[in-house]
Structure 1
Amino acid sequence: MQDHDAPRGASAAPPDASHLFPAATPSAALLSGHDWTGSSLGPLPQWCPALRAAASWLASSPVPKWLAWGDELALVYNEAYARILGPKHPTALGASLRTVWAEAWPALEEPVTAALRGEGVYREDFQLQVQQGDTVSPAWFTFWYTPLHDEQGVVRGLLATVWETTDKVKAQQTLADKQAALQTLAAGNLKLEAERLAQRQEIAERYRLAALATNDAIWDWQLADGQVVWNPALARLFGHALEHTDAEWWLSHIHPDDRPRIETSIHAVIDGHETAWTGEYRFRCADGHYAHVFDRGSVLRDAQGRAVRMIGAMLDLSSRKAAEAALRYSEQQFKALFERIDEGFCIIEFLDGPHGPMSDYVHVLANPAYLANAGIANVVGQKVRDMVPDEADAWVDIYRRVLVTGEPVRFERELVKTARYLELAAFRVEPPELRQVAVLFQDVTARHRAEMALRELNDTLERRVAAEVAERLRTEEALRQSQKMEAVGQLTGGIAHDFNNMLAVVLSSLDLLDRKFLADDPRARRFVDAARNGARRAAQLTQRLLAFARQQPLKPEPLDVNKLVAGMSDLLRHSLGGGVQLETVLAGGLWRTHIDPNQLESAILNLAVNARDAMPEAGEGRLTIETANCHLNERYAAGHPGVQAGQYVMVAVTDTGTGMPPDVVAKAFEPFFTTKEVGRGTGLGLSQVYGFVRQSGGHAKIYSEPGHGTTVKLYMPRLMGDVVVVEDVEQAPAGLHGDGQELILVVEDEPSMRALSVESLQELGYRVLEADGAATALRLLEAHADIALLFTDVVMPGMNGRKLADEACRRRPGLKVLFTTGYTRNAVVHNGVLDAGVHLIGKPFTLDELASRVREVLDAV
């Protein structure tokens, strides 16, 4: 007989539900189609593996099952259980078990609590008060509760298999009542036989109706013809959509290994005088797999005691068997863990003794690691007062408090008997009536002794700590100084950037004024020259600021520093004058470095001039320039923020001058700081040297003492790898003016600077087109195929000069490009180094410098 009960609340599973609930499982659509986001469980993909595994197993079962998970005991169930819930479905999905079964909770709380403690719970024909419409009435259920553990082994919920047996219980009650009545009638006269027969028929009919309603597979075996009548649960539980079979069909579906035993036992009951039969066997389901069943039946006999019918019920034990297997596996895991863990473990049970109630305890369980950690063997059965009588009071007090309060404890204590220092954790074993406490511990004697030794060592570390604190303060001061220098560098770099643009307008205007209008006016030319000299000095000042800020464009190349220092001898002697003796100490086998030679030469000359000014004017001083290979180690680098440990080429400039006190040394590299009188220095010489060396990846250090001179050491990174020497190719000098035919496109967004650039180039003999931005420049390039040079500012709104040049060269391969800018940290200079193949003239520039640079770019091959 087929089961025509359609599942309620089911919906089509979303396309991505198959990975958790395969479509073949009976309840996949119900569970995957539900919106779980509003429940305490959260969306399905966020369920933990243990919850997902339990839900998947539940979904694949045709038997009514539910699980409750988490502190809220959120409910998950299959379609078979949805029919038991009735109108409570589907709102019960994800709701709290306490809320869904609020009317039955007083009776359910005890078995649920027991399962959450980790106990398996089985109740048969358990009476509950159930809400049915507006009334609460009794109903009977048979169920099995199994604890659910998470991945850490903690009980987080329970799994339930449920059969409603209300109809069966009522039928049994009715049958018992009728049987009692029949027995009374049987003791009477025979004229009531017809009435007794009618009553038996009525009982049979009611039993048939009850069999249709129960969740057990009820069978009624007519022994005369061998026909068996089944209720619809046969289809729900085992998939056989049948109502009538014969006994052979039933027996043929019993596992071949179980059938002889079952046939023998059932015929022994039928052929004997017993009425009750029970058996446990494996029954083949419609899909071919075997379900574990518990079967029980009762034999009905006629007045002569002959067996005429046998009525029974098959209970599916598959979930219980799975739970038992899981329990066995859990027990095996516990045993393996108990035997193999390194920590000692024991369970103690408190006893009443001569010293009072719970004044002693005995070891009822201990693992092999107990001996390894505590040093005491064969403790099971031993009392603590016999094991360690001198220490027993203290141990009893600690563990008795755990037993009485139920609060776990962690502590460390010495086991004096074995001179072991133990780290212990203890908790009460439930229920409290067991009077047991579990203890987990490990031997930490070695660690304890090390800690004691460390404490003793710390008592002698005061001087070392003071030294370390002083070193840290020195390092922090160096870091603050480095950060201050960095901040000053950013400020001065920004000032120099804006100042350069203003000076460019001033110098270009003065050059054009001199060239065009002052040829016959010496007095006016004298004023212009004075203004021009002032502007050039201001330009040098901004250049030094940019050097300190590490924003000047460098052209580094492999360099032999010994060769550079030797080549500077004449220049240095001329700069130092006759009163200063110059010495050079050049190291043999000096490594090469990768640095801008012109800037290094300028730095050495700057240091030499500073050294000359620090030596007394009367008498002779001595200046020594020394080179050497050096290695700055990690310790040195840690004390000097920004310095990388490694190999360096060192140049040291030492003088025999007056020297500097520490406070002056600390500020010597700062811009505008000088000890010279007004008019003898700008305070930018050493700051320029400092910025150049740091921009080159190096390090500068001053060693000085009043009355003992000063040494400034420049450390430049060693050039690693093979050195490729590029010979300079001399080019024939060319004229610096245009021939009136070459066409130059000027791109500048600043109107005054653009006008002066156009005027200057026209003055130099070039034809000029002008554009105020990239869009106009590209249109002019398309319109004038004879443009020979693109002269563009780098920093412009929208498309900058570098992007404009790239696009122009893509359209006009071979186009010459000359960049100009007052700020070098931009698209054509990276890490302080000018990009390869890039021609740049920095603002401000003179008319002669512009003429030379334009001619150089135009004549380049």
Structure 2
Amino acid sequence: MEKPPWHILLMEDNAEDRADLRQMLLRGGTRRFRFSEASTGAQGVRKVLALEEGPFDCLLLDYRLPDMDAMEVLAALRNGADMPPCPVVVITGAAVEEGQQLLSAGAQDFIGKRWTGADSLNRAVENAVDRYALQRERLRAEDALRASEERYRALFNSIDAGYAVVEVMFGENGTAVDARYLEVNPSFARQTGLVGAEGQTLHALVPGIETLWVETFGTVALTGVPVRLERFSAVMDRWFDVYAFRLGNAPSPQVAVLFHDTTERKSTEFALIAAKAEAEAANRAKSQFLLNMSHELRSPLSSILGFTQLIESSKPRPTPAQQDSVEQILLAGWYLSGLINELLDFSTIESGKMVLTSRAVSIADVLDDCRALIEPQAQRSGIQIEFPVLAESFLVKADPVRTKQVLINLLTNAIKYNRASGRVDVRCTAAPGQPVRVSVEDTGQGLTPAQLAQLFDPFNRLGQEGSAEPGTGIGLVICQRLVEQMGGRIGVESRPGLGSCFWFELQLAPVPHPSADQRTTD
């Protein structure tokens, strides 16, 4: 494809000289040209800057024009910029020293009138165009570098983290012995408490500093492998989270260090760890106290119940007044026995001493056993209770005794906190591959969102402390712990005034496969 012609502006006041320049360019090479002319400096400057006939690929400028010389034209063309808008070749009869001034003023080349020929003029134009392109590229690179440095400096000065560039100093045996700070950002002093670091060595800035820091910087400088560490400096009495990486390729001794003072965060962490350990110790002590106290109460209570039962069955029989007292003692004793059992369960669970079995348990059998136990209580309280008729047994992985304990507790609460002539519905559902859910729904007063948030807090009876219904506020907590230890979960949905639905879920047990002997027998 043929190259487009170069557009040349001839700034020459002599018409014959302009004609000679055109002819020399046309005869001196294979490139095609087209020309524009200006007989004064002002006219040429206007054409270049206003692009009246441009743009131009090169400007041939006579050193002396009627109104301006070449230095003035170049200054006008540059208009404060680093370069003129197009390459300039000055035609002059002056000495080489003057030509150097022209190059400094913005011209790309100069050539003397007396030795200008077709070949030399073409070479001067081509050289000027090439040199101009190189100068423009250099300026673009310098601008990009300057912008990059400005961005780096803005980031360097604005980041909250401390940042430093250090030069690692090595001893004769090749080990790192010190590090000199070449550059630090404003956050350095805030993160370290050290001022005036630039130019100083680490040992001079922090006498007695641990060797770990210099050794770390030396390793990064030698290997080029970045290092991330969090360490405590006893000398500075601060924790630092540090990321160090080498600047440049080996064997560059310069290492960049980005760091944060984490002393406050570490102090908080240590305080939380200590508080957690203290709370766990207190909880263990509390659980052990409850365990011991429950055992201590059980022995005298057993004696009280035993002797009361002997009095009840003794001869002669107690008088009616005495019988009332005996029944009150037995009622209170059995209630107290139940409370002690709950405390024993709770303290055993909290101390981590509760051992549960895990085997395939039939939910249908659990429901049948619980129904037999709970229906008399429901009848005495005037509560209608409905159990589901299951088409299958629903085998779950659980402890059978504890599963019954959980369900009995939920049923007992549904009866105790129901309304007069209320209702309790027991349901059992299980989608294929999903846990088995057993739910107990009552028609009681329901729970508010605030009460639901405190439902599983130990010893919290949710405002029922003054009611006629006895309790300790740990029954549901025990249920929650037992279900979770069996790999399940427990929850509740409730609406004030409409009742509550407590439920628990347990994982399905693997279906047992018949043995070879059983298959043969079948």
TM-score under structure 1 normalisation? 0.28
Higher RCO, Cα 8 Å, sep 6+: 2
TM-score under structure 2 normalisation? 0.43
